[in-house]
Chains A and B, each alone.
Chain A
Amino acid sequence: MQRVSERVIARARELMREGTVNKVAGWKAGEFFYDCAPYVFESEESLKDLVYDRFCAANLSKYMIKNSVAAGAEGGKVLVLLKPCDTYSFNQLLTEHRIARENVYVLGVGCEGMCDIDRIREKGFKGITGVDENADGKTLTVHTLYGDGEVAIDDVLVNKCEFCKGKAHMIFDELISDNEDEGPRGDRFAGVRELEAMSPADRFAFWQSELSKCIRCNACRNACPACSCRKCVFDNDASGIASKANTDSFEEKMFHIIRAFHVAGRCTDCGECTRVCPQGIPLHLFNRKYIKDINEFYGEYAAGAEAGQRGPLINYTVDDIEPAAVSDKGGN
């Protein structure tokens, strides 16, 4: 990924210097090498902090809602770096008229999978000081206070990359990628199927155990590109859902279920919710359940595969499956 990275950074600088764009939405290294955070660079000079490495998992599409409008107001354009999976979210937001497309320059960037620092740690590394990608592109050298070690990249991918949707960009103005699209990786619905095979009581116990970990930090909602309402229903008194003070409330208890339905048919399975959850709740299992059901009931649908699609929940056919027929399928 090294080579792509260098070309991406160089091209971003070039576009800024030429004046094609006046802002760059990319990733900026944080205090630690692995906490690359979304950042909007506003000068060529500031671009020295732009990084693109194995820890740039964050999906930048959502930032285009505000930044595309702001860029337009300033008479400029914003450059956004989008990995293949991020482009689905970008398209979905275009479908929903949330991004001023004319103010955005999309640089599609090739991606070979993002790594999860926690999974590296799980491999037994302590005191990690840095990680370098080896020339084979398949392993990482992990530098620690106690010496170096090696780990296979496939073993430490973030969840969304473990089940990568493919290496093809759905939308871009310019593309920097050496990857051939190999199609999706792994069976992303395996986790859903596992749950479906359980008894309802066991499923309830599973979710109760997972969701009880939730601290309602709203990280999932904040990172989610589909959760991009101007004002979230949970903060909107008229919705009948929100109730700020009372913790023993409907909203509090059903937060994740409500959220999952709100993004059903719009979720691109970008995996940000699960990635950002500080409690490690497998939130993607909700989204993938909806995606799996939609595919099975109404035919394959990939939100964001192209802009302007009519989502499955704002669509119908006269001979759609009956909810009763659904009951007979799968589950218990």
Chain B
Amino acid sequence: MQPGVVFAQDYQYMCSEAGQNIIKDAIKTHGLTGVVVCSCSPRMHEATFRKAAAQAGLNPFMVEIANIREHCSWIHKDKEEGTEKACVLMRAAVAKVTLNAPLKAGESKVVKRALVIGGGIAGIQTALDIADAGFPVDIVEKNATIGGRMAQLDKTFPTLDCSSCILTPKMVEAKANENIRLITYAEVEEVSGFVGSFKAKIRKKARFVKEDVCTGCGVCMSKCPSKKGLNEFNMGLNNRSAIYIPFAQAIPNVAVIDKEQCIKLKTGKCGLCQKVCTAGAIDYTQQDEFIEEEYGAIVMATGFRPIDASKFDEYSYSTCKDVVTSLELERIMNAAGPTGGVLLRPSDGKHPHSIVFIQCVGSRDVSGRGKPYCSKICCMYTAKHAMLIRDKYPDVEVHVFYIDVRTPGKNFDEFYRRAAEQYDVDYIKGQVGKVYEENGQLVVRGVDLISNEQIVLNADMVVLATAIEPDPTARKVANMLTASIDTNDFITEAHPKLRPVESPTAGIFLSGVCQGPKDIPETVSQAGAAASKVIGLLAKDKLTTNPCVAHSDELLCNGCSCCEKVCPYSAISYETKLINDHGVKETRRVAMVNEALCQGCGACTVVCPSGAMDLKGFSNKQIMAEVDAICL
């Protein structure tokens, strides 16, 4: 046995009730001052064992875990080698635990207000659920209206009900709810603080329209002489005026002026909208405003966008107008879209007779042009599009090139089969190699892998099921929130299975596609899950803080300020005070750590030249002892 070890026991399921009882009994029977559990990762059960120790009267921070599962038995095939390594890991943990000191968690406040970043269906649903529980919520939306991507969709699968018919009531509800404040046309600029008390600075961009005065009558839009702006809501397929309301059901139903496009703002001349506005809502002098607010929890619901299809020049997206993305097709199919819901091809406004859908454009692509993941929603929306077109225009031939058709989800496969069987959509197993224009005719060259033939099809329109990627703001927001992000810019969850709506950063929650590709029902259920986590947090009056924080020994502190400069939380400040060093009294400058702000990273400990700064729970001596034990 290792020096200091008085009791050792083997048990298969240490984390079980019975296993925990063994630990509790041992602590009481042997009067243990430290416990080492050789088990799975501390990221899994450290909290469990610490709680058990506490129940037996031992300070929970006198427990250390030797990770002999994920870091040992699961990866080493050679039993002898593995066992040897397990012993070393145990030795290191014992060496550490003998130097552990009892720690006591502090307390910090919980601001009972939540911030939701993003006002799509994910953000709206999360906010509604939090608000319903009685907590105030702010939704910050970068666009002029809430609604997000779902507002742009025509119908939804697999029920084929109208997207805005089910979304609009939620948007209205968000506006009407007393606990929800909508901050549209705004972006979060800065976030500081930590779980329970974040401070956010929000920039509300100038709309040049008084939000509380505008009635949304729309007269300004019709009178505006500058009508050449690309209509973002319609994916740039038609134009809008410089002053505009994004779409009929926009919330808030308030106009906004595009300052790059507005003649008055660019040249000082015009001012027509101001003249026609009977409410007097137009204000060309409006400036960006800043809102500063404290929040107990923050939800990221930053959503997605389709990737740029022009990277795939073999599909001729940038050269042929009749090659469109699926989201563009949504707008073409939509009654409020550029064609009033009539299927007309963009180049000449004629009715198409043959449409080819290409799936997996940029999804499952490791060539560097696309995304390595499956975008998850494309198989289903392509089936939806194919079915809707065949239903409304039976004269149109529809071909779908697919690699796999992925339809896990309630009623999803049945939906796809209906498209193929009842609506006679031609599903071709294979990819398209090239789309090109020949004598004014779109030609699609693909392959049918089942019949093993290359197929050349004439098409009037080609629809690309482009991959989706996280909204480009996600990375910036995640960095601001110190939430970790994966190589595809999706936000990492605290645990892929067990904590899917939380970020590893305490107090940050995930809702919707910012966490990974998902469809509307999944988004809504995740939004609800994130809300319930937020509610659970906001329902608390106090939070216990991590006791593994930095601590400065004022007898050793030189007062050099190195630590202060590297602290990411401004948790270190300097104070000139009377120091009594074993009877020698001196007034000098020393570092002080604010334990509520300190998150325990340890950056300060390394820059401290005198070694005055140390980290509780990961002290210099403890880590040195671990190194020692490993290199024995």
Contacts and interface: CB of A to CB of B under 8 A. Distances in A.
Interface of A: 69, 96-98, 226, 228-233, 236, 238-241, 250, 262-263, 266, 310-311, 313-315
Contact of B610 (A236, A240, A310, A311): A236
Nearest to B607: A314
Nearest to B560: A96
A55 to B, nearest CB: 31
Given A229-B610, A238-B614, A239-B611, A96 B620 contact: no
B15 interface: no
4 closest Cβ pairs, A-B complex: A240-B624, A96-B560, A239-B611, A229-B610
Nearest to B589: A97
B609 A313 contact: no
A262 B558 CA distance: 14
B250 to A, nearest CB: 38
Contacts of A98: 558-560
Contacts of B553: 238
Given A96-B561, A233-B609, A236-B556, 8 more contacts: A96-B560, A96-B562, A97-B561, A97-B589, A230-B557, A233-B610, A238-B619, A240-B621
A75 to B, nearest CB: 15
Interface string B369-380: 000000000000
Contact of B558 (A228, A241, A314): A228
Given A96-B561, A233-B611, A313-B607, A240 B556 contact: no
20 contacts: A96-B559, A96-B561, A97-B561, A229-B558, A229-B609, A231-B555, A233-B609, A236-B556, A236-B610, A236-B611, A238-B619, A238-B620, A239-B620, A240-B625, A241-B611, A241-B620, A241-B624, A266-B609, A314-B566, A314-B607
Nearest to A242: B611
A240 B614 CA distance: 11
Nearest to A234: B611
Nearest to B579: A230
Contacts of B54: none
Given A97-B589, A229-B609, A240 B620 contact: yes
A232 to B, nearest CB: 8
Contact of B556 (A69, A229, A262, A313): A229
User: Dominant SS at the A interface?
Assistant: loop
A98 B611 CA distance: 16
A262 B565 contact: no
B591 to A, nearest CB: 11
B32 interface: no
B585 to A, nearest CB: 12
Interface in B548-573: 553, 555-562, 565-566
Contacts of B167: none
A137 B98 CA distance: 65
A231 B581 CA distance: 12
Nearest to A237: B621
Contacts of A313: 607
Interface in B526-568: 553, 555-562, 565-566
B559 A97 contact: yes
Contacts of A266: 609
A104 to B, nearest CB: 16
A21 B559 CA distance: 26
A238 B560 CA distance: 19
Contacts of A230: 555-558, 610
Contacts of B623: 240
Nearest to A97: B559
Nearest to B99: A240
A310 B611 contact: no
Contacts of A241: 611, 620, 624
A245 B239 CA distance: 83
A231 B589 CA distance: 15
Most A-side CB within 10 Å, residue of B561, B609, B619:
B609
Nearest to A308: B561
Contacts of A311: 562
Contacts of B556: 229-231, 236
Given A96-B560, A228-B558, A229-B556, A238 B611 contact: yes
A288 B362 CA distance: 51
A114 B198 CA distance: 58
Nearest to A236: B611
A315 to B, nearest CB: 8
Interface string B286-309: 000000000000000000000000
A72 B420 CA distance: 91
Contacts of B560: 96-98
A107 B102 CA distance: 53
B561 to A, nearest CB: 6
Contacts of B565: 310, 314-315
Nearest to A314: B565
A316 to B, nearest CB: 9
A228 B561 CA distance: 14
B561 A238 contact: no
A231 B561 contact: no
A310 B589 CA distance: 19
Interface in B604-619: 607, 609-611, 614, 619
A235 B167 CA distance: 68
A310 B562 CA distance: 9
Interface in B575-632: 588-589, 607, 609-611, 614, 619-621, 623-625
B32 to A, nearest CB: 24
A241 B566 CA distance: 23
A304 to B, nearest CB: 14
A27 to B, nearest CB: 26
A21 B10 CA distance: 74
B466 to A, nearest CB: 30
Nearest to A311: B562
A262 B562 CA distance: 12
B213 to A, nearest CB: 43
A238 B621 contact: yes
A228 B560 CA distance: 11
A98 B610 CA distance: 13
Most B-side CB within 10 Å, residue of A241, A263, A314:
A314
Contacts of B555: 230-231
